[in-house]
Amino acid sequence: MHIFANPARFLSIARPATPWLFWTGLVVLLAGCACGLFLTPADYLQGDSVRILYVHVPAAWLGMGGWSGIAIAAIMQMVWRHPLAAIAGRAIAVPGALFTAICLASGSIWGRPTWGTWWEWDGRMTSMLVLLFLYIGYIALARASAASGQSGGVSRVTAIFALVGAVNLPIINRSVVWWNSLHQGPSITMRGSTIDMAILWPLGLTLLGFTFWFAAIVLMRMRAILAETKVEARMQRMARDAAVGERVPA
């Protein structure tokens, strides 16, 4: 990873990778959604509402995957002082929060026709809502520490917050196993899938597509934050030069 310690080298890879990930992701995810809407059969119990699966599951995966990324970035920031780690953490936070919100909203819309309720305080739903609040807290902390001028990124408190928040990830994952919950148990496990292949296959496409898209958005945001810090550094230098110029008598 230390190859990327030099932002210029990171940019030389990130710049061409961004449009590639963006457009491939968009095509794959739209294809997956179209297949899920028109080609797959309805579920024996739920009927057509099962199709929300193709958005709900990738959103949940990216919401949780996003926080895993933030936690890894926090470790790299604290242990190796990697210059891009803080920037990566900040870049992941907003799309991660967005996908967590999409997961909660799509789950709520799905819950009404199947379970008969928009919202219940069961283990899975509550722990996922906590993840959304963690994201909002992280975004606020990161913005505050970036505003106070801490190395173009996030303070150590923010990184520690990211690690503490990661405890929620196994809780979300296990919530339907540990506790009686309204949400059903895991469908896809190490032993295989209880989703029939006829319904399952477009999920692979939307998972891949949304993940590529997420990566493209993260790269874009990292480049934007890098450009911002560069502008800031240049402005500071110009201000310093101007101040020096005034003091020197002509």
Partner 1 sequence: MAMKSKHQRLILVLIALVALIGAGLLAASALKDEAAYFYTPYDAKTKGVDPGKAIRLGGMVVKGSLKRAADGVTIHFQVSDGKASVPATFTGIAPDLFREGSGVVAEGSFDKGGTFVATNLLAKHDERYMPRELDGMSYNETTHQIEGQVK
How many chain residues touch partner 1 (CB under 8 A)?
Answer: 46
**Token reading at 24:** 């491939």
CB of 72 to partner 1, least distance (A): 11
**Token reading at 212:** 């590529």
Residue 12 in the binding site for partner 1 (CB under 8 A): no
**Token reading at 234:** 């240049």
In 12-73, the DSSP E strands lie at none
Q: What is the DSSP letter of 84?
A: T
Residue 14 in the binding site for partner 1 (CB under 8 A): no
Between CA 93 and CA 6 the distance in angstroms is: 23
CA–CA distances in Å: residue 146 to residues 72, 155, 232? 19, 8, 12
CB of 121 to partner 1, least distance (A): 8
Burial class (CB in 10 A: 0-12, 13-18, 19+), 171: middle
| Nearest CA among 96, 64, 70, 67 for reference residue 173 | 64
Q: Containing H/E element for 188?
A: strand 188-189
Residue 16 or residue 186: which is nearer to partner 1 going by CB?
A: 186
Residue 79 in the binding site for partner 1 (CB under 8 A): yes
Residue 24 or residue 151: which is nearer to partner 1 going by CB?
A: 151
- The piece of 39-47, 88-96, 207-215, 220-228 that touches partner 1 (CB under 8 A) is 39-47
Q: Which of 12, 23, 27, 115 binds partner 1 (CB under 8 A)?
A: 115
Between CA 56 and CA 63 the distance in angstroms is: 10
Q: Which of 34, 196, 224, 237 binds partner 1 (CB under 8 A)?
A: 196
Residue 148 or residue 189: which is nearer to partner 1 going by CB?
A: 189
Residue span 47-76 as binding mask against partner 1, x where in contact by CB under 8 A, dash where not = x--x--x---------------------x-
Interface ranges with partner 1 (CB under 8 A): 41-47, 50, 53, 75, 78-80, 113-117, 120-123, 160, 163-164, 166-168, 170-171, 174, 178-182, 184-187, 194-196, 198-200
